[in-house]
Amino acid sequence: MEKNERVALTGGCQCGAVRFRARLVGRGSICHCRMCQKAFGGFFGPLVTAHDGEWTRGEPRWFQSSNLARRAFCGACGTPLAYETRFGLELAIGAFDTPEAVAPQIQVNPRDKLSFFDTLTSLPVRENQDSEWTDFLSGIHSNQHPDHDTAEWPPRDESRS
């Protein structure tokens, strides 16, 4: 696997309880195996090898998903974070602060690829939202951790001081 030396890449779960860092990452992939589909609750598992990955805030919980692999997730919010075998640690691409920096370059385990996967980009796109939906979206305030490291999380609520 090709190794790319990069600036420290950071990421973590949506609630901010678990954060990670990696400088030396491999080739990003999407895994179509059924275990990855279930672990991510999606059509595939997006992962990148982290040769020097480390947890910088909190610790993930682990689930032994098979006799040869375990998967990490945030015990507070459930965000999938990693996959680990005797070959090393792989971090979830979507959990990185800048997922574009570790974009997938290969697909693996095509035997379990869902039959509709290759046609997803041909689905129609709904560009114009009705006013009710637009009003709903404009009222959203995200409670998710921002896409960068923070000194503390969650931030102190100054109004309660």
Which pLDDT value is given to residue 87? 95
pLDDT band (50, 70, 90) for residue 157: low
pLDDT digits 0-9 by tens, 14-46: 999 999 999 999 999 999 999 999 999 999 999
Average pLDDT of the chain?
91
Q: Which two tokens stand for residue 5?
A: 């030396």
Which of 87, 71, 73 minimizes the C-alpha distance to 12?
A: 73
The 10s digit of each residue's pLDDT in 125-139 is 988 778 888 888 888
Tokens of 61: 């919980």
Residue-level pLDDT at 126? 84
**Could you tell me whether strands 45-49 and 88-92 are parallel, antiparallel, or unpaired per DSSP bridges?**
antiparallel
- Does the domain at residues 1-114 carry the CATH identifier 2.170.150.70? yes
pLDDT of residue 1: 43
Residues 135, 95, 39, 106: what is their CA dihedral angle, to the nearest 10 degrees? 110
Please indicate whether residue 104 or residue 131 has the higher confidence score (pLDDT): 104
Q: How many other CB atoms are there within 10 angstroms of residue 85's CB atom? A: 11
Can you tell me the mean pLDDT for 108-114? 97
- Please state the pTM of the whole predicted model: 0.86
pLDDT at 93: 98
Per the DSSP assignment, residues forming a β-bridge with 83 are 71, 90
b/e string for 116-141 if b means 16 or more Cβ within 10 A?
eeeeeeeeeeeeeeeeeeeeeeeeee
Q: How confident is the model at residue 151 (pLDDT cuts 50, 70, 90)?
A: confident
